[in-house]
Amino acid sequence: MRIGGVIRRAVLIVLGAIWLVPVYLLLVNAFRPGADYTGDHVWTPSATFGLFDNFAKAWDNADLGPSIGSTVLYSVVSPAVGVVVGALAAYAIVVLRLRHGFAWFLAVYGGTIFPTQMLLIPLFLGYSDTNLYDNRFGMVLIYTTISVPLAAFVMRNFFTGVAYEVFEAARIDGASVFTAFWRIYLPLSVPALAAVFILDFTFVWNDLMFGLTLSQDQSVRPIQTALSALNSAYAGTSVPTVLAAGLIVSLPTVALFLATQRLFARGLTLGQY
């Protein structure tokens, strides 16, 4: 093995070890009973297993059940609708050759250049005036809107790589514009759509900012917002309890990625042209 390869591998090992340090601290202290937690022993594993007890306390103290149900709704429905709408936008721009298509694409994707913090006050005022504040439909609406630009970007790149003759052949065979999209282009783009869905699912599941700004009721708030309340200075919850709740709540995104990593990598590759 060449010296360059050895150095590269050594650097990767060091970086991986540095990245794993916070994970180690999370696991060690999430498995520790709350009564055994002290600032002097955060690096040392406890002899007592307390993960499930910690999570049970977090579940009872923060009433996580309704928040998890709402988060599942937001994380599945919003990305699913968002990727279909984004694919429709890309289909109109690339395949149907919409007039001023690039300008329309900039209109769809251009909003992502602004920091999301700039949107919070206008969204709060708008939601308050339209009765969308603290409403599940309002949360689904904002998460769907956020999911569309990435889908439009990836699908525009994907549809650019599909020969236009495919659309012409479908039209000659009598397929309508929507039928060609639904029966031909959408099945072709399943890997790319799945990759975008996974990214959007992860974003929505881990969102804190919009949940804090646009919701208040425990049954409407996303799970990360409920966890932030559990970790507040007034909650009186031990550190291992908070860490155990965070560990359990993070498992769905990890499981989704591990289960679909090949499809995810393939979808991102197909979107690069």
Q: Is residue 229 in a domain?
A: yes
Q: Are both 20 and 78 inside the same structural domain?
A: no
Highest mean pLDDT among 76-85, 95-104, 118-127: 76-85
Q: Are both 185 and 91 inside the same structural domain?
A: yes
Residue 42 lies in domain: 3-53
Q: Are both 44 and 74 inside the same structural domain?
A: no
Going by pLDDT thresholds of 50, 70 and 90, the confidence category of residue 62 is low
Does the structure show a pLDDT above 70 at 76? yes
Q: Are both 203 and 109 inside the same structural domain?
A: yes
Over residues 245-270, mean pLDDT: 79
d(CA 68, CA 45): 29
The residues near 108 (Cβ < 8 Å, ≥ 6 apart) are 86, 89, 148, 149, 152
Q: Are both 179 and 258 inside the same structural domain?
A: yes
Over residues 214-218, mean pLDDT: 88
Q: Are both 212 and 176 inside the same structural domain?
A: yes
Q: Are both 171 and 132 inside the same structural domain?
A: yes
Over residues 1-6, mean pLDDT: 73
Helices (H) then strands (E): counts for the chain: 13, 0
Residue with the larger pLDDT of the pair 43 and 61 = 43
pLDDT of res. 64: 79
Q: Are both 48 and 160 inside the same structural domain?
A: no
Q: What does the DSSP 8-state code read for residue 162?
A: S
Does the structure show a pLDDT above 80 at 261? no
d(CA 240, CA 61): 14
Does the structure show a pLDDT above 50 at 121? yes
Q: Which of 252, 170, 165, 237 is nearest to 204 (CA)?
A: 252
Q: Is residue 250 in a domain?
A: yes
Q: Which of 143, 141, 153 is nearest to 193 (CA)?
A: 153
- Contact (CB, 8 A) for 213 and 124: yes
Q: Tell which phi-psi region holds residue 221, choosing left (phi > 0), alpha (psi between -120 and 50) or beta.
A: beta
Does the structure show a pLDDT above 50 at 48? yes
Q: Are both 34 and 91 inside the same structural domain?
A: no
Lowest mean pLDDT among 8-17, 62-71, 117-126, 177-186: 62-71
Q: Is residue 100 in a domain?
A: yes
pTM, rounded to two decimals: 0.84
Q: What is the CATH number of the domain that holds 128?
A: 1.10.3720.10
Q: Characterize 140-159 residue by residue with b for buried, 16 or more Cβ atoms within 10 angstroms of its Cβ, and e for exposed.
A: bbbbbbbbbbbbbbbbbbbb
Does the structure show a pLDDT above 70 at 267? no
Percentage of residues in the chain having pLDDT higher than 70: 94
Does the structure show a pLDDT above 50 at 273? no
Q: Are both 24 and 157 inside the same structural domain?
A: no
Task: Output the average pLDDT for the chain.
Answer: 85
d(CA 271, CA 273): 6
Going by pLDDT thresholds of 50, 70 and 90, the confidence category of residue 51 is confident
Number of C-alpha atoms within 13 angstroms, CB side, residue 7? Answer: 3
Count of the separate structural domains present in the chain = 2
Percentage of residues in the chain having pLDDT higher than 90: 26
Sole residue written with tokens 């001023």: 100
Sole residue written with tokens 């994707």: 109
Over residues 207-219, mean pLDDT: 89
- Where do runs of H (alpha helix) occur along 111-238? 117-129, 136-160, 164-172, 177-180, 186-188, 190-205, 209-214, 223-230
d(CA 141, CA 120): 14
Q: Is residue 58 in a domain?
A: no
Sign of CA dihedral 125, 131, 133, 137: negative
Does the structure show a pLDDT above 90 at 79? yes
Q: Is residue 111 in a domain?
A: yes
Q: Are both 194 and 256 inside the same structural domain?
A: yes
Q: Which of 75, 210, 222, 89 is nearest to 144 (CA)?
A: 75
Going by pLDDT thresholds of 50, 70 and 90, the confidence category of residue 27 is confident
Does the structure show a pLDDT above 90 at 139? yes
Over residues 98-112, mean pLDDT: 84
Q: Are both 197 and 98 inside the same structural domain?
A: yes
